Amino acid sequence: MPTHLVVGAGAIGTPLVRRLAERGDTVRVATRRGTEVAGAAALTLDAKDAAALTSAADGADTIVVCSNPPYPAWGTEWPALTTALIDTAAATGAGIVLMGNLYGHGPVSEPMTEHTPLASAEKKGSVRADSWKRLLAAADRGVRAVEVRASDYFGPGAGRNAHLGCDFFGPLVAGRTAHAVGDVTQPHAWAYLPDVVSTLVAAIDHDEWGRAWLTPHATHASRVEIAEEARRRYGLTGRVRPWNPLLWAGLTRTVPFLREVRAMQYQFDSPFVVDSSESERLLGIGPTPWPEALDATIAATRDAARRP
């Protein structure tokens, strides 16, 4: 069975480790704190340390990168991590599967595909695009890499920082108002976390390098539409509203994370949609039906609300 080194144990890394271990693969999970995940060997390391990463990846078939540094640190963290990944892959022969996003494309006026140019002028988008281009350019050193890209994710375990996470569904379940970034009436691509994991697994198994894959997206509904559906189906009374502009401006001036969120607000002020048909066809994957994904998300939100 194959051996994988998964870097990061967050909302994507943890379920990925479990999925790979459950099917019998050998899995190591590397984090700064040595986070333990059932079925995997836990390693404590800073993935920017090329020597430590190379040692951890010894004998691994793939290195799956699911880490995500804090937004304000992207400008320093991602270039250093990319350098370490290139050195490690060149030394060990392990293929790199990079969990990515759609930031590198910048504002778009049509559905994004696997071949949409990386043309972002925003700094975080430029950082992610540069990392991917560097990995591709390292092919002359024997580096093999693919990137799996997803729009914003949702589902059990999505966490607070997700735009469709517990700070969105939590208030709806509690009968309060969920405040959201940008125009809440615009269509937006939403990726269900289990589908993100399925795409990563399929990309590992497909063994085609030097390209991007797109996850299936369970819905392209606006946040108003999602809130209305939740009210109809589950009897909820909460609603969604955009942030008050003056309050939002004040928050983004004083909170570095929110300042970086505001820089990506273009993704919510106009349609932000994805055409993943090529990836679905070639990888043999598809989205979880939206009603099933929403049921699981609401159930997890209610469970969390009942816990002390």
Say yes or no to pLDDT of 243 above 90: yes
108: in domain:
yes
Residue 308 scores a pLDDT above 80: no
CATH code for the domain in which residue 58 is found: 3.40.50.720
**Residues 177, 28 share a domain:** no
- Do 173 and 95 sit in the same domain of this protein? no
Statement to judge: residues 28 and 117 lie in one domain? yes
DSSP secondary structure code for residue 307 in this structure = -
Structural domain tally of the chain?
2
Residue 222 has pLDDT above 90, yes or no: yes
Do 8 and 103 reside in the same domain of the chain?
yes
**Mean pLDDT of all residues in 10-15:** 97
Per-residue pLDDT tens digits for 23-81? 999 999 999 999 999 999 999 999 999 999 999 999 999 999 999 899 999 999 999 99
* 80-97: pLDDT as tens digits: 999 999 999 999 999 999
- Does 17 share its domain with 127? yes
pTM for the complete prediction? 0.96
Q: Does residue 51 sit in the same domain as residue 167?
A: no
> What are the CA-CA distances from residue 297 to residues 70, 122, 145, 193, 283 (Å)?
25, 31, 32, 10, 25
Domain annotation covers residue 67: yes
Whether 171 and 127 share a structural domain: no
pLDDT at 305: 85
**Mean pLDDT on 108-115:** 96
Q: Are residues 138 and 167 in the same domain?
A: no
The pLDDT confidence band at residue 306, using thresholds 50, 70 and 90, is confident
Q: CA end-to-end span of the chain, whole Å?
A: 42
- Write the pLDDT tens digit of every residue in 192-215: 999 999 999 999 999 899 999 999
**Could you tell me which residues come within 8 angstroms of residue 290 by beta carbon, excluding any fewer than 6 positions away?**
218, 219, 221
Residues 51 and 182 in one domain: no
From its phi and psi, is residue 57 left (phi > 0), alpha (psi between -120 and 50) or beta? alpha
Report yes or no on 76 lying in a domain.
Answer: yes
Q: Across residues 99-117, what is the average pLDDT? A: 97
Task: Provide the strand spans (E) within 39-186.
Answer: 41-44, 62-65, 95-101, 145-150, 152-154, 177-180
145-173: average pLDDT: 95
Domain boundary among 199, 214, 229: 214
Q: Tell the residue number behind the tokens 């790979």, with chain if given.
A: 20
DSSP state of 219: B
Boundaries of domain holding 75:
3-152+190-214
110 within domain boundaries: yes
Is residue 93 included in any domain, yes or no?
Answer: yes
Are 93 and 237 within one domain?
Answer: no
247-271 per-position pLDDT tens digit: 999 999 999 999 999 999 999 999 9
Same domain for 175 and 110?
A: no
User: Cβ of 136: how many Cβ atoms within 10 Å?
Assistant: 16
Dist CA 28 CA 62 (whole Å): 11
In a domain, 164, yes or no: yes
| 162 and 254 together in one domain | yes
The three-state DSSP-derived secondary structure of 177-206 is: EEEECCCCCCCECEEEHHHHHHHHHHHHHH
What does the block give as tokens for 215?
Answer: 């996850």
pLDDT of residue 55: 98
